[in-house]
Amino acid sequence: SLYFDDGDDFIVIAHRGASAYYPENTMAAFEGAVAMDAEMIELDVLMSKDGVPVVFHDLALDDHTNGNGYIPQYTVEKLKKLDAGSWFDKKFADQRIPTLEEVLQFASGKIALNIEIKTEAVSDQVEGGVEQKSLELVKQYGMEKHVLFSSFDYRAVEHLKQLDPEVSVALLYNKHQSQRQLPHQQVGKFSADAFNCSFRQFSKKWSRNLKKHGIPHFIYTVNSKRKMKKLIKAGVSGIFTNKPDLLHRVKDNL
Ligand code: G3P
Ligand code: MG
């Protein structure tokens, strides 16, 4: 489904796709997420050497491809030669690093996306480029109502809102964020639309604060039944999980 059409029901978010069962951030993982009826797919975006937004979590290629070195050292043409699936299972040897454009093409009319902007790969010359290019692509595929952007880098959050105040953007929160205010203050400061919080930092106090202020809040990354149950009962807006099938089962059996 396309989340932003559906109002404010609890949503299942496939973290890097259905990444418990498929190599993360690959088309196989995204197809798996759709097959498991996830309402949204989370994916990480970095910039290639030639300025193309590509879907990959780490700056370094070593752990999740047969390449080495770092994403920003390679053009998209070179990145496309790498095997992004064998590290998970030999049967996924044909999986490649997707471009954001390929994922938008796949998701358009089918499923909502959470595009997490990773700014580690951005050199000074192209600062802001990953936000701008990603937003252009989202619009090109008519997905602006079905995409939630997010970032741990709040400069990227501000930049997206500058580029288009209508675009939905979430603050990503973990223990390394310097912000120590209540969530509604943090969200207000950046004119953000949602708060994406690590389950380790999510407290009863913050849950009350977010609900009181009507701020959508999505919690990552949760793969255990017990934690899923607790969070759904607490009234969170959605959960990021590597196991969208399990989260659906838990939700349906509450
Ligand atoms: O967007 C939620 C979550 O993906 C943030 O952390 O490191 O898994 O990208 P990370
Ligand atoms: Mg992520």
- Whole-complex ipTM: 0.99
Q: What was the pLDDT predicted at 1?
A: 44
Structure tokens given for 106: 């796949």
Residue 76 lies in domain: 3-252
Task: Give catalytic status of residue 217 as yes or no.
Answer: no
Residues β-bridged to residue 150 = 116, 170
Q: What was the pLDDT predicted at 127?
A: 63
Within 6 A (CB) of ligand 1 lie 15, 42, 44, 57, 116, 150, 172, 196, 220-221, 240
If one residue of 41, 196, 220 were mutated to test the ligand 1 pocket, choosing by the most ligand atoms within 8 A of its CB, it would be 220
178-187, 230-239, 244-253: least confident range: 178-187
Q: In this structure, which amino acid lies at residue 175?
A: K
* More confident call, 121 vs 38: 38
- Alpha carbon 110 to chain centroid distance? 16
CATH code, domain carrying 126: 3.20.20.190
User: How much is the average pLDDT of 10-32?
Assistant: 98
What is the β-pairing status of strands 238-241 and 217-220? Answer: parallel
Q: Is 60:120 a contact under the CB 8 Å cutoff?
A: no
* pLDDT bucket at 123, cuts 50 / 70 / 90: low
Percent of the chain at pLDDT above 70? 93
Does the structure show a pLDDT above 70 at 118? yes
Give me the number of domains the chain comprises. Answer: 1
Task: Report the mean per-residue pLDDT for the chain.
Answer: 93
Q: Is 54:100 a contact under the CB 8 Å cutoff?
A: yes
Task: Give catalytic status of residue 159 as yes or no.
Answer: no
- Separation of alpha carbons 19 and 221, rounded Å: 11
Q: 240 C-alpha to center of ligand 2: Å?
A: 9
If one residue of 19, 24, 42 were mutated to test the ligand 1 pocket, choosing by the most ligand atoms within 8 A of its CB, it would be 42
